């Protein structure tokens, strides 16, 4: 091996460094976030790819709406119609107010398509966009994560948005006075001594639903991203030997199998997030 080859191998990151680098966000601080919650830091890559996927989803829907035909639909139109009918049927089954469904139905469709597209960023080769970004910036250590839903900040942002919509419908359906009364009288009754307990239970319920809603999506997508990195390391570790060739074959087989299985995960997680959104909004229409 040449001297240059030895230097390259010596400077190559370890498996741990490789994974840590890929799991570090491009943010406003310029370094890895140390605390779980830090409102002074904004993850720029999550913001960019979330917006890009949202714009892409809107563009596709707009193009399909412009070119819709009453005859035999094309593949894209047929796919959009299937998703539209699915979201509309689920909204009808959970939210019984026809007036509310004028907003909730399109909301369910938007949530499904947007989350699906953000999840789908995980299908790109692990190193593709980060290497391109390092080339463009000229910084071999530049950070970039391309899956917005593998960032807890992104998924909790989505779930907090759902929470705000639920609060809106609580006030709209029950009236502000009716909702406040429910906060202090449900679920244990309207005795004054139970007011603090009822209020605490209501707040815990809102917090638990919001946190679990965001963390469920984050956990599944984070795990999927991590598995892709481990498979990539398996491929990078191979050498021209019996063991190395076995690693390369394992890399190809494991990568192909996980990519196929991940298609189901990406779709399922988008569906679950949409369904929970509908369930929480439906609960906001119910009176205790």
Set 212, 241, 246, 256: catalytic member: 212
Considering only CA atoms, give the Rg of the chain.
23
220 is catalytic: yes
Three-state SS annotation for the chain? CCHHHHHHHHHCCCHHHHHHHHCCCCECCCCCCCCCCCCCCCEHHHHHHHHHHHHHHHHHHHHHHHCCCCCCCCHHHHHHHHHHHHHHHHHHHHCCCHHHHHHHHHHHHHHHHHHHHHHHHHHCCCCHHHHHHHHHHCCCCCCCCCCHHHCHHHHHHHHHHHHHHHHHHHHHHHHHHHHHHHHHHCCCCCCHHHHHHHHHHHHHHHHHHHHHHHHHHHHHHHHHHHHHHHHHHHHHCCCCCHHHHHHHHHHHHHHHHHHHHHHHHHHHHHHHHHHHHHHHHHHHCCCC
Residue 216 is among the residues annotated as catalytic for this protein: yes
Find out whether 266 and 119 touch, Cβ atoms under 8 Å. yes
Omega of the bond leading into 287 within 30 degrees of 0 (cis) = no
Task: Tell me, yes or no, if 212 is annotated catalytic.
Answer: yes
**Annotated active-site residue in 27, 159, 198, 220:** 220
Residues with a catalytic annotation lie at 212, 216, 220
């Amino acid at each position: 091996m040449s001297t240059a080859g030895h230097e390259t191998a010596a400077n190559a990151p370890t498996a741990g460094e490789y994974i840590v680098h890929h799991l570090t966000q491009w943010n406003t601080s310029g370094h890895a976030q140390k605390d779980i919650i830090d409102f002074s830091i904004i993850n720029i890559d999550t913001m960019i790819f979330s917006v890009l996927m949202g714009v892409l989803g809107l563009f596709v829907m707009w193009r399909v709406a412009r070119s819709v035909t009453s005859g035999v639909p094309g593949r894209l139109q047929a796919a959009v119609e299937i998703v539209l009918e699915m979201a509309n049927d689920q909204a009808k089954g959970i939210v019984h107010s026809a007036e509310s469904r004028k907003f909730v139905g399109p909301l369910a469709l938007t949530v499904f398509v947007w989350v699906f597209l953000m999840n789908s960023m995980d299908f790109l080769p692990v190193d593709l966009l980060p290497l391109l970004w390092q080339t463009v910036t000229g910084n071999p250590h530049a950070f970039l994560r391309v899956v917005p839903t593998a960032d807890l900040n992104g998924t909790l942002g989505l779930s907090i948005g759902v929470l705000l919509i639920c609060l809106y419908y609580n006030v709209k359906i029950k009236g502000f006075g009716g909702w406040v009364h429910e906060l202090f009288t449900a679920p244990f009754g309207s005795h004054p001594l139970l007011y603090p307990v009822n209020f605490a239970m209501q707040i815990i319920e809102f917090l638990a639903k919001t946190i679990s809603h965001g963390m469920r999506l984050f956990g599944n997508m984070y795990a999927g991203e991590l598995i892709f990195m481990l498979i990539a390391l398996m491929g990078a570790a191979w050498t021209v030997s019996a063991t190395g060739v076995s690693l390369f074959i394992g890399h190809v087989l494991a990568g192909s199998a996980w990519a196929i299985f991940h298609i189901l995960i990406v779709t399922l997680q988008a569906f679950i997030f949409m369904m929970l959104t509908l369930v929480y909004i439906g609960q906001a229409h119910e009176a205790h």
